[in-house]
């Protein structure tokens, strides 16, 4: 059998006993230029690492993401503290915008807990039930986060509109100004700290999780500026207008949250729906087109999918009937060439390249 199913990060792979793939599905055999499909399963065991001549199965990369998990834990604890502070301050001061900020932080905390659980699952080995690992959970969690963000923005907008209709709200400005000033500094500082840490981690979970800190920081800036404006209005004898500041802030904050919500929702929804990422699809076609021109492939088909950081790539090549295949090494050389063209392998890239002599096996 002249085919191989490859998880690129072979240096950290662990063998899984009695793990099989149907040879007829992913490993058609070249036989005199024609593809012959077999019905048996391929098993990889410690005693039989190569299931048949020229066929090797490598699966189950383990992702070491302790730095990611540690940062998510830290972020969750700090966001919970911000949430409690916001809710308490909102209740004491009577400021609905501060209360909204606190509840937003509380929901963000719950989402961070889900992200932390997802990060731990991603670090685990694949198993019989989840044979490709837990990568698919990443876009699902981000979809939940984006949906909650959108819903809470709609709620805040309606709350602000009804606040204006009902004649505004009187609030304790001294307390809320201190709250907004302190948390503007804290949240911006932590946002930039996380962004700096993620330059090395390159985690999409951390990247989108950090949006909640940016949103929270922007909320605090909006609160600070608006409450200072309300204080100025009161000091200048326009106290009757100051009561509208709180609901107006709520409306503006709600509108400002729409862009971050859609920034999270759009890519997450594409991945959950299984829409092929254009940039990855274009890259695969570019590399295989170049290989086809160099080696004279008769035809090929490719499939790509993305779940969070995981990229799944399948390439099935049709070779001419007279293509010189001296040994398995010939085809492995072609695989290596294509793999190199696609970029540096890592644990999140799952690459399958198979060859056949009959077009019907790629239909």
147-185 burial: b if 16+ Cβ within 10 Å, else e: ebbbebbeebbebbeebbeeebbebebebbbebbbebbe
Query: Quick check: 119 and 133 in contact, CB under 8 A?
Result: no
Domains of the chain, each with CATH number or no CATH: 17-58+276-362 (3.30.70.1350), 66-273 (1.20.1510.10)
H runs (alpha helix) in 126-238: 137-165, 173-201, 204-235
Q: Are strands 310-318 and 349-356 parallel, antiparallel or unpaired?
A: parallel
pLDDT by residue for the chain (363 residues), tens digit each? 343 344 444 333 333 333 233 333 333 333 333 333 333 333 333 333 333 333 333 334 444 467 888 898 999 999 999 999 999 998 988 888 888 888 888 888 988 898 888 888 877 777 778 777 788 888 888 898 889 888 888 888 888 898 888 888 777 788 888 999 999 999 999 999 999 998 888 887 788 788 888 888 888 888 888 888 888 888 888 878 888 887 888 888 888 888 888 988 998 898 888 888 899 999 999 999 999 999 999 999 999 998 877 889 999 999 998 999 989 999 999 999 999 999 988 878 889 999 999 988 887
Q: Which two tokens stand for residue 56?
A: 């090797």
CA–CA separation, 121 and 129 (whole Å): 13
Torsion of CA 185, 191, 193, 197, to 10 degrees: 180
Measured at the CA of 297, the angle between CA 28 and CA 36, to 5 degrees, comes to: 20
Q: DSSP letter at 350?
A: E
Q: How far from 88 is each of 18, 83, 99, 163, 293, CA to CA, in Å?
A: 57, 9, 8, 20, 67
Provide the β-strand partners of residue 29: 36
pLDDT of residue 281: 94
Q: How far is CA 306 from the centre of its chain?
A: 9
């Amino acid at each position: 059998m002249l085919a191989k199913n490859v998880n690129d990060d072979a240096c950290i792979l662990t063998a899984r006993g009695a793990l099989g793939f149907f040879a007829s599905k992913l490993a058609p055999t070249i036989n005199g230029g024609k593809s012959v499909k077999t019905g048996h399963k391929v098993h990889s065991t410690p005693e039989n690492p190569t299931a048949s001549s020229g066929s090797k199965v490598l699966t189950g990369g383990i992702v070491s993401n302790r730095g990611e998990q540690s940062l998510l834990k830290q972020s969750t604890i700090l966001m919970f503290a911000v949430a409690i502070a916001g809710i308490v301050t909102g209740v004491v001061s009577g400021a609905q915008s501060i209360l909204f900020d606190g509840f937003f932080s509380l929901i963000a905390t719950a989402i961070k807990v889900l992200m932390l659980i997802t990060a731990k699952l991603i670090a685990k080995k694949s198993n019989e039930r989840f044979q490709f690992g837990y990568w698919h959970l990443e876009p699902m969690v981000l979809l939940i986060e984006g949906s909650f963000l959108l819903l809470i923005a709609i709620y805040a907008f309606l709350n602000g509109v009804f606040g204006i209709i009902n004649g505004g709200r009187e609030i304790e400005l001294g307390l809320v100004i201190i709250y907004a000033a302190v948390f503007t500094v804290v949240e911006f500082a932590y946002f930039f700290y996380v962004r700096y840490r993620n330059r090395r981690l390159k985690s999409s979970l951390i990247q989108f999780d950090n949006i909640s800190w940016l949103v929270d920081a922007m909320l605090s800036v909006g609160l600070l500026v608006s409450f200072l404006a309300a204080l100025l209005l009161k000091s200048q004898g326009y106290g009757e207008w100051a009561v509208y500041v709180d609901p107006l802030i709520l409306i503006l904050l709600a509108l400002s949250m729409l862009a971050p919500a859609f920034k999270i929702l759009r890519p997450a929804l594409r991945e959950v729906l299984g829409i092929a990422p254009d940039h990855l699809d274009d890259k695969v076609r570019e590399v295989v087109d170049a290989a086809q021109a160099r080696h004279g492939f008769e035809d090929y088909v490719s499939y790509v999918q993305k779940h969070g950081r995981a990229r799944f790539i399948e390439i099935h090549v049709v070779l001419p009937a007279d293509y010189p295949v001296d040994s398995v090494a010939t085809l492995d050389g072609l695989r290596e060439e294509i793999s190199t063209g696609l970029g540096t392998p890592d644990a999140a890239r799952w690459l399958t390249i198979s060859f056949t002599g009959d077009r019907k096996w790629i239909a």
